[in-house]
Structure 1
Amino acid sequence: MKFFLSLLLLFLFSQNQIAQNWLITQEEWGGTDSTDTSLEHQISYITIHHGGEIFPEDKNTVTYLQGLQKWSRSDRKWNDIPYHYVVARDGKIYEGRPLNFRGDTNTTYDPTGHALIVLLGNFEEQELNPEQIESLKTVTSYLAKQESVAADKIKTHKDYAETLCPGVKLSAYLGTDDWNRFLSNISDQ
């Protein structure tokens, strides 16, 4: 019996690892752990952002994230980088602030209960990369399933605050049939 229980536990653990093989953890990109547990929350929403600054294709994402974490903690006095997941221009997905800690914002909405996803780039000016779109779907689908977030609770920053975020080009994509089919599939999960 112990043998079968061990096999079951090994199987379940490996399935969890397989499900997240797309994620570059904070430890892997050289970030440091958050320690302030006063910001803990439960996820009820998924909110999509853009970085709001031009992000060249050849810019080093790891160096950027390390700088963002340092700036967030020292200049802004935040617990960590503002977002839970960061989608780089090449489509790689990086872990940001731990999901159980409330994110931060420079605008007026309360991000308590929101899982924050940011796509690097300024989508008022830059084009979306197909890799970013696929990665946005990957992390959104994962979060919706993991945190039991309904499709109608998946929105953008500008749905909660007066802002251009996530930019006209990302907003346009989020109004396409492709995105709406994706959301419909989430509703069916």
Structure 2
Amino acid sequence: MLIVLICTITLFVPALGSDAPCHNIGGTCQDDHLHCSGSYHTGLCSGGTHRRCCSHSSAAGTDSGMCSHVKVYSRASWGARAPKHVTTMHTPASLFFVHHTEGNFCHDFASCATQMRGIQNYHMDSRGWSDIGYSFLVGEDGAVYEGRGWHHVGAHTQGYNSRGFAASVMGSFMHRKPNDAALNAIKNLIQCGIDHGYITSGYSLYGHRDVGSTDCPGDALYSEIRTWPHYSTHHP
């Protein structure tokens, strides 16, 4: 049975003192004045900002969907835990849902990656779910962060998880809409999905509230997506 993801999430508390995100990509946390035979990656180590992840892995910062017009940070890049189990998504999907997390805003990789790890921990440890619920999340840095991705069924929209993908913008968008960088990231992610055969070209776009009793994705963001060409007033 697929579990419904409730948009209201107010507690994103990543594990303190953990270097696991760096270790997950085969890296080592060290002071960045030391020599690194690979390359340094920010936001994956505990401690001060000078303590960074030295890794040979190309996973940190890779474009996980081969999307040419939007940066997609892979799960390894933001330090995701392995899922407890997965269910294969049958594509192309004809539905796409927009959510917001109702948590903190983020405007750079380090803060967005911290948010991602906190959301995943909350979903897996507090909710008891198999993984982070959304297909993708979006920051106001203009980047997309891979959640369950294109290949696995999410836990985001009750009754529609196996029929559609969902992108959730990190933050609360009741009173303001996300910045243009985040809005363009959603649009470009959808186009990437179409280009690679994950989403039908005639897909229908919805806000979470269109199919559930919730204020998600927030009044301001909801008003925005209702102006987009594929927004549908018909029940899916």
Q: TM-score, normalised by structure 2?
A: 0.61
CA contact (8 A) 1:87 1:119 kept: yes
- Per the alignment, residue 162 of structure 2 pairs with 112
Q: Distance in 2 between matches of 1:88 and 1:21?
A: 12
Identify the match of residue 26 of structure 1 among 72, 75, 93. 75
Q: Does 1:40 align with 2:88?
A: yes
Match of 2:221 in 1: 170
Residues 168 and 151 of structure 1: CA distance in aligned 2, closer, same or farther (over 3 Å): farther
1:102 has 2:150 as partner: no
Let me know the Cα RMSD of the aligned residues.
Answer: 2.5
Compare 130-139 and 39-48 and name the one that shifted more. 39-48
Alignment check: 8 A CA contact 2:67 2:189 kept: no
Q: Deviation above 4 Å: which 4+ runs of structure 1?
A: 56-59
Question: Taking structure 1 as reference, are residues 92 and 152 closer, same or farther at Cα in structure 2, changes over 3 Å only?
Answer: closer
Query: Which one of the candidate residues 138, 141, 151 is aligned to 2:191?
Result: 141
Structure 2 spans left out of the alignment, 5+ residues: 1-64, 232-236
1:69 to 120, 145, 165: 120
User: Match of 1:93?
Assistant: 144
Contact kept? 2:84, 2:131, Cα under 8 Å: no
Q: Greater strand percent: which structure?
A: 2
CA deviations 1:111-159 (Å, max 9, x no partner) are: 2222111111211123320101110111111123322424442222112
- Tell me which protein shows more helix as a share of its residues: 1
Asked if the contact 2:70–2:144 (Cα under 8 Å) also holds between the matched residues in 1, the reply is: no
Find the aligned partners of 1:108 and 1:90 in 2 and give their Cα distance: 29
| % same residue | 22
The answer on whether the counterparts of 2:97 and 2:164 sit within 8 Å (CA) in structure 1 is yes
Paired residues, what number? 163
What are the ranges of 5 or more consecutive residues in structure 1 without an aligned counterpart? Answer: 1-15, 185-189
TM-score when normalising by structure 1: 0.74
